Homo-oligomer: A and B are copies of this chain.
Amino acid sequence: DIVASLIQDTASARQQTDLQGKTVMITAGPTREPLDPVRYISNHSSGKMGYAMAAAAADAGANVILVSGPVSVPPPAGVNVVNVETAQQMFDAVMQHVQATDIFIATAAVADYRAKVLENNKIKKTGDELTLTFVKNPDILKEVAALPNAPFAVGFAAESQNLAHYAKSKLENKKLAMVAANDITTSGLGFNSDHNALHVFWENGDKQLGPAPKTQLARELLSLIDEKYKNKPSN
């Protein structure tokens, strides 16, 4: 009957991706970089893909740590959430938990730059033009992947052009295990959408996933991560 078949489907999905006893840390959402007490720079990341990955990992039996920027999606059940606002706060939270982490999945759209000077008072509009200088934030994913005994590190790349080129560069430059890339110019997919399509790259191969709902895509990507993770020589 239908119920038995649903239970069997669920059971086989869990069997496919079994992360019992593993700790998976996921970053999600945007970061917000303040300019003054009221203004900030942010981006259109909704956090939906990261939250779907966290739900899929918890469903696969993993101990999940979700380090999240400000989003409006509710946290999945059975997941440890650490809420942060800035890139520096996200970096600190990740570094606090990274030693215990087996798989690190960086879905967050971390701000690359923060204001060089954080104004304590609201910037007044005086001149016709305003020039602001920004300095680089820590590259969380790169620093995690460069650690001794680094976790299996998976990056995301949201690109508006030359997707495969930028994704492969990211894989090499940051010494990642995998990169999941998506084209942000594809209408109806990606940021703020419930659907997405990913082109996943690793050292000697690649695979296209979707277009599919982010919840389904998260399960497929986690299954692929699990497969590559378990095939690593050191595991």
Interface residues of A (CB under 8 A from B): 35-45, 72, 109, 111-113, 116, 120-122, 125, 128-136, 158-161, 184-185, 191
Contact = CB atoms under 8 A, between A and B. Distances in A.
Contacts of A185: 37
Contacts of A109: 38
Contacts of A39: 41-43, 111
Nearest to A139: B125
Chain A facing B: main interface SS: loop
B132 A128 contact: no
A87 to B, nearest CB: 12
Contact of A132 (B37, B40, B112, B132): B132
Given A131-B133, A131-B134, A135-B129, A121 B161 contact: yes
Pick from A38, A120, A129 the residue with the most CB of B within 10 Å: A38
B122 A128 contact: no
A42 to B, nearest CB: 6
Nearest to A130: B134
A140 B120 CA distance: 26
Contact of A42 (B40, B45, B128, B136): B40
B128 A135 contact: yes
Contact of A125 (B113, B125, B184): B113
